[in-house]
Amino acid sequence: MFVKVCGVNTEMLTLRRTVCMRTLSCVIPAIHKFQYCKINIENGVTMFELKKTEGKARRGVFTCAHGVVQTPVFMNVGTQGAIKGALSAADLKNIGCQVELSNTYHLHLRPTDKVVRQMGGLHKFMTWNGPILPDSGGFQVFSLAALRRIKEEGVYFSSHIDGHKIFMGPEESMQIQSNLGSDMCMAFDECIENPSPRDYVQKSVDRTYRWLVRCKAENARLNSLPDTVNPHQMLWGINQGGTYPDIRIDHMKRIADLDLPGYAIGGLAVGETAQEMYDIIDAIEPYMPREKTRYLMGVGTPTNIIEGVARGVDFFDCVMPARNARHARLFTWEGAINLKNAKYQLDDSPIDPQCDCPVCRRYSRAYIRHLFVAEEMLAMRLCVMHNLYFYNQLMQRIRDALDAGTFGDFRREYSEKLARRI
């Protein structure tokens, strides 16, 4: 199948899916520019093109109902349909965001997924016309451990807002995500604390697999309904298994057999060391389908991302850049800085002299530090904007290096440098 995008003919590897036969016309970003053009996706076929590799590192193009995504990519996290730090959908476009990520559990609580559906889906509700990926709610199985009970049918929660009882299982998670109308939907799973006893991990992984089978059936049913917000919604499976390589590998083999459009690595960056995380990625990467997208969930630092790309990962997300920014911890191409430090009181240079984000083009370190000291909300907005721009530019530089065949050199120069505190 050939798709013409803004004058560029691109041969795509097609992924098999059973969906309604229709032609979808949608607005998407062009391949190399954040401009917009029309594309037709025939018969609901989703596509991932692996353009080239350097070692295990992959350069690709992913096409979905609301856009074309250049990979590797960092997804900007808007948990409740907004970036914490007062950034709008228009801001995201201006700082190079390709994919916005939201959270199933939080949107289910407020405004509720039914409200979002009545408003035309999450894209229309938050005025974001690019791709959206939601978390399944499975991470809340981990993060709300004190407020939940896990059963075969699903998970019983107490709302962290008002304590009311909530049940979420595979079918409920798929229904909520379908109401949101996101481009991708994530399988409902249990995120396991690291380390955890082997017996518990194995039982949890087996249950997560059974939940995935149920998710696949429900996703297919929902996509076939005539009034579905997005009938081209794609289910991605999630690999679990804690820090046990053999459990991880066996689970990856089983979920790969389900022939899903994409696969994620979950349950990392939740207690293990960075090296343990890298070892797990190395162990399961050979068993991840080469022609499908690969997503490392909740990771991470700039160094984590560079090392993840080197190990064959395509998609990343993390709250770190926005969360750090709200506390004046900022990323630069020479390392991380803390803008609250007194040494910046009279510093009239930008946050990063090598950065051309809207913040660095206009404001000084001294001024932004003053905003933090004065507890002005503008401080958080400016710093979140800078950090997310930095992450999006990091991915652009990685893609450029892969295109040029110089990713190895980029990794050697920046993997350790970006971990420094200066």
3-state secondary structure of 54: strand
Q: Residue for token digits 């991708």? A: 184
What's the number of domains the chain is made of? 2
Asked if 414 and 359 sit in the same domain, the reply is: yes
CA distance 219 to 100: 21
Query: 397: closest CA among 301, 310, 323, 306?
Result: 306
CA distance 191 to 44: 31
Q: Catalytic: 403?
A: no
> For position 11, what pLDDT does the model report?
34
Query: 19: closest CA among 130, 183, 179?
Result: 183
Q: Is residue 42 part of a domain?
A: no
- Dig out the tokens for 51 from the structure: 């353009």
Asked if 205 and 270 sit in the same domain, the reply is: yes
Asked if 85 and 215 sit in the same domain, the reply is: yes
> For position 157, what pLDDT does the model report?
83
> For position 145, what pLDDT does the model report?
74
Q: Is residue 153 part of a domain?
A: yes
342 neighbors 328 (Cβ within 8 angstroms): no
CA distance 241 to 67: 32
Asked if 312 and 331 sit in the same domain, the reply is: no
Q: Catalytic: 317?
A: yes
**Which residue of the set 113, 135, 189, 352 is catalytic?**
135
Count CA atoms closer than 13 A to 364's CA, side-chain side.
9
Asked if 146 and 210 sit in the same domain, the reply is: yes
Let me know the angle formed at the C-alpha of 310 by 307 and 311, rounded to the nearest 5 degrees: 95
Residues 6+ apart with CB under 8 A from 203: none
Q: Is residue 13 part of a domain?
A: no
> For position 173, what pLDDT does the model report?
95
Looking up residue 113, the CATH number of its domain turns out to be 3.20.20.105
Asked if 335 and 299 sit in the same domain, the reply is: no
Strand partners, 150: 155
> For position 345, what pLDDT does the model report?
98
Asked if 240 and 369 sit in the same domain, the reply is: no
> For position 32, what pLDDT does the model report?
35
Burial environment of residue 151 by CB neighbours within 10 A (0 to 12, 13 to 18, 19 or more)? exposed
3-state secondary structure of 151: strand
Asked if 179 and 306 sit in the same domain, the reply is: yes
Q: Containing domain of residue 288, as a range?
A: 71-318
**How far is residue 325 CA from its own chain's centroid?**
18
CA distance 408 to 306: 10
Asked if 111 and 228 sit in the same domain, the reply is: yes
> For position 144, what pLDDT does the model report?
73
Q: Is residue 123 part of a domain?
A: yes
394 neighbors 302 (Cβ within 8 angstroms): yes
Single out the residue in 318, 349, 372 at which a domain terminates.
318
Single out the residue in 318, 348, 377 at which a domain terminates.
318
CA distance 241 to 160: 27
Q: Is residue 307 part of a domain?
A: yes
Asked if 354 and 409 sit in the same domain, the reply is: yes
Cis peptide bond N-terminal to 226, omega within 30: no
Single out the residue in 260, 294, 318 at which a domain terminates.
318
Q: Is residue 1 part of a domain?
A: no
Q: Is residue 38 part of a domain?
A: no
Cis peptide bond N-terminal to 111, omega within 30: yes
Per-residue pLDDT 10s for the chain (422 aa) are 333 333 333 333 333 333 332 333 333 333 333 333 333 344 444 489 999 999 999 999 999 999 999 999 999 999 889 999 999 999 999 999 999 999 998 899 999 999 999 999 999 999 999 999 998 877 766 677 778 899 999 999 888 888 889 899 999 999 999 999 999 999 999 988 899 999 999 999 999 999 999 999 999 999 999 999 999 999 999 999 999 999 999 999 999 999 999 999 999 999 899 999 999 999 999 999 999 999 999 999 999 999 999 999 999 999 999 999 999 999 999 999 999 999 999 999 999 999 999 999 999 999 999 999 999 999 999 999 999 999 999 999 999 999 999 999 999 999 999 999 99
Sign of CA dihedral 111, 67, 415, 239: positive
Asked if 104 and 180 sit in the same domain, the reply is: yes
**Which residue of the set 91, 183, 189, 317 is catalytic?**
317
286 neighbors 253 (Cβ within 8 angstroms): no
Q: Is residue 337 part of a domain?
A: yes
10 Å Cβ neighbour count for 164? 9
Asked if 235 and 168 sit in the same domain, the reply is: yes
> For position 141, what pLDDT does the model report?
64
Residues 6+ apart with CB under 8 A from 10: 2, 3, 4, 31, 49, 61
> For position 289, what pLDDT does the model report?
97
